[in-house]
Structure 1
Amino acid sequence: MSWLPNLQTETPEEGYQLAIKLSRMAVKLTQPDDEARNKMRPGYASNYDSLIAVSHVVAVNFQTVSQANNYWR
């Protein structure tokens, strides 16, 4: 089974968690080497520009999930 069978969620909170998962999977698929990702983590973990960029990516993914769920109407 796929890790992403669809974008449907029951609640906005579940949708937000899915948006985070989409964002994390993008990083994992872009850099599949766990060791390399772990080496890079300290460089962005304390960099406010990087953290703001992460927030933006999650927000864009949440917008996509929200649209797919008709904004939970």
Structure 2
Amino acid sequence: MKEFAASLETATPREGVDLAARLAWEMVRKVQPSKSIRDRLVVIYEDDAETILMACQIIATNFQAIAAANNYWRD
């Protein structure tokens, strides 16, 4: 996984969404540092629509902060 920049600033909204997803994943890694346990849990949750929607909500919340930090991508 790439290292994070020290800023929430991105060049485009697409880069903002990518950063939002990476931030969400980094939180998962902090909460559960064991890769083997994360790998085991992914198999359990990957077919659970509710869990997938909750992950999307977390990414969307991160994206709101990133969009604001980028002044909603100036022209």
TM-score normalised per structure 2: 0.91
Distance 2:36 2:43 in 1: 12
Residue segments in structure 1 that go unaligned for 5+ positions in a row: none
Greater than 2 Å deviation, 4+ residue runs:
none
Q: Percent same amino acid at aligned positions?
A: 33
Distance 1:31 1:4 in 2: 22
State the partner residue of 1:71. 72
Residue segments in structure 2 that go unaligned for 5+ positions in a row: none
Distance 1:62 1:40 in 2: 25
State the partner residue of 1:16. 17
TM-score normalised per structure 1: 0.93
Distance 2:62 2:9 in 1: 13
Considering fraction of residues, name the structure with more helix. 1
